[in-house]
């Protein structure tokens, strides 16, 4: 029968392939989940349609409100996405027995846990691309003044953007019908792509929809750095909930996640300001979400030390994942 010797294991290249294989299967499981698509689609549509609903701008520009609204949607829906993804992936791997079967093969629990995080992070990244592009488009849609068009809402971009979301669903249905591809996963991937195409094509027409060539872009891409920072905060939250999901039931994970979220939002306000050791200690335990929120009354402000923010997120995620790996290695898998 099968008498082929097993290739020498433990080599780095094999480990990397194994890691990618495991991360991909987890990402696939996640993208097939209807709740993830629902969150992504709903957030994108809410963000895109928000500028059409402004009755009063409270002295701000409409674009400014669209920006804050879009980023807030990304953060809030992203929190739900991260917590749900962690619980769903951990729970389904346990319930279906794939976790036990994978660990009965020569796969170290450490690798499986990290690959699982990579899978969730991949889904979260795609979610953030969707919502960030939607925010970018919403800022263009929002009522604004241009010499050529005067004050107007950009209904053309709104229509194209919403149509691209519908198109994503239609293409997903076709892929499902003719290629047996998962509808949910296809739409989840197609949605950001089509929104990016919409943003790319928005330079070719002005706010009233008249053709303009050469293209002139009015997209405020600085918003993407803000969306990236929120994405970073969401990655920290995903790591946190993935570790919590090892210990608690989904409802408790949600509750604990909310508690940590609330603590992280309030602690910086009540702990001593500046860079006192106490402040650092509190930031080391509960993430300081405020540090990732970079819009203020004066618009989009870069953080005082962008490098430090990345370093902080990296260290936090690493520490949490090390804790998770330790727990996962100690726990039983049946």
Give 10 or 147: the residue with its C-beta nearer to another protein. 10
Q: How many beta carbons lie within 10 A of that of residue 255, not counting itself?
A: 13
Give 8 or 277: the residue with its C-beta nearer to another protein. 8
Pick one of 101, 152, 281, 285: the residue that binds another protein (CB under 8 A).
101
Number of residues that bind another protein (CB under 8 A): 32
Question: Minimum CB separation from another protein for residue 107, in Å?
Answer: 5
2 binds another protein (CB under 8 A): yes
Q: Which of residues 8-47 bind another protein (CB under 8 A)?
A: 9, 14, 17-18, 21, 25, 28-29, 32
154 binds another protein (CB under 8 A): no
215 binds another protein (CB under 8 A): no
For 249, the token pair is 């039931």
Give 57 or 329: the residue with its C-beta nearer to another protein. 329
3-state secondary structure of 296: strand
Give 180 or 213: the residue with its C-beta nearer to another protein. 180
Q: Which of residues 67-96 bind another protein (CB under 8 A)?
A: 96
3-state secondary structure of 152: strand
Task: Tell me the CA distances in angstroms from 221 to 34, 136, 156, 194, 233, one per residue in order.
Answer: 30, 7, 20, 17, 20
Task: Tell me the CA distances in angstroms from 289 to 50, 241, 286, 319, one per residue in order.
Answer: 24, 15, 9, 17
Give 25 or 153: the residue with its C-beta nearer to another protein. 25
Question: Minimum CB separation from another protein for residue 333, in Å?
Answer: 5
108 binds another protein (CB under 8 A): yes
For 119, the token pair is 């899978």
Q: How far apart are CA 230 and CA 246, in angstroms?
A: 25
Question: Minimum CB separation from another protein for residue 105, in Å?
Answer: 4
Pick one of 106, 200, 209, 302: the residue that binds another protein (CB under 8 A).
106
Interaxial angle between packed helices 12-31 and 109-141, expressed in degrees from 0 to 180 and rounded to the nearest 10: 50
Q: Which of residues 172-201 bind another protein (CB under 8 A)?
A: 182
326 binds another protein (CB under 8 A): no
104 binds another protein (CB under 8 A): yes
CA 138 to chain centre: 18
Assess contact for 278 and 272: CB atoms under 8 A: yes
Question: Minimum CB separation from another protein for residue 130, in Å?
Answer: 22
Give 29 or 144: the residue with its C-beta nearer to another protein. 29
Core vs surface per residue 113-149: b (16+ CB within 10 A) or e = bbbbbbbbbbbbebbbbbbbbbbbbbbbbbbbeeeee
Question: Minimum CB separation from another protein for residue 95, in Å?
Answer: 9
User: What's the start-to-end Cα distance of the chain, in Å?
Assistant: 30
* Residues at the interface with another protein (CB under 8 A): 1-4, 6-7, 9, 14, 17-18, 21, 25, 28-29, 32, 96-108, 182, 332-334
């Amino acid at each position: 029968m099968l008498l082929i010797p097993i290739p020498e294991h433990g080599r780095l290249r094999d480990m990397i392939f194994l890691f990618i294989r495991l991360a991909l299967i987890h990402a696939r499981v996640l993208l097939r989940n209807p709740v993830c698509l629902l969150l992504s689609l709903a957030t994108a549509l809410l963000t895109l349609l928000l500028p059409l609903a402004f009755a009063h701008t409270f002295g701000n520009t409409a674009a400014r409100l669209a920006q804050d609204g879009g980023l807030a949607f990304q953060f809030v829906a992203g929190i739900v996405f991260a917590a749900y993804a962690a619980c769903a992936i951990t729970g389904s791997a346990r319930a279906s027995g794939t976790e036990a079967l994978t660990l009965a093969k020569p796969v170290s629990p450490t690798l499986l846990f990290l690959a699982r995080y990579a899978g969730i992070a991949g889904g979260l990244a795609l979610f953030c691309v969707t919502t960030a592009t939607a925010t970018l488009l919403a800022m263009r849609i929002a009522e604004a003044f241009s010499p050529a068009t005067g004050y107007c809402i950009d209904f053309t971009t709104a229509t194209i953007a919403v149509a691209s979301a519908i198109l994503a669903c239609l293409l997903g249905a076709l892929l499902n019908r003719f290629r047996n591809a998962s509808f949910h996963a296809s739409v989840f991937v197609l949605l950001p792509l089509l929104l990016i195409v919409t943003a790319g094509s928005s330079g070719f027409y002005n706010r009233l929809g008249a053709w303009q060539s050469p293209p002139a872009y009015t997209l405020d891409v600085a918003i993407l750095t803000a969306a990236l920072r929120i994405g970073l905060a969401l990655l920290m939250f995903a790591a946190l909930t993935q570790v919590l999901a090892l210990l608690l039931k989904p409802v408790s994970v949600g509750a604990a996640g909310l508690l940590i979220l609330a603590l992280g939002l309030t602690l910086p306000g009540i702990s001593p300001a500046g860079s006192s050791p106490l402040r650092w200690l509190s930031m080391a335990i509960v993430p300081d979400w405020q540090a990732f929120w970079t819009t203020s009354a004066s618009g989009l402000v870069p953080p005082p030390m962008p490098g430090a923010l990345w370093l902080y997120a990296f260290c936090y995620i690493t520490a949490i994942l090390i804790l998770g790996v330790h727990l996962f290695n100690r726990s039983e898998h049946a």
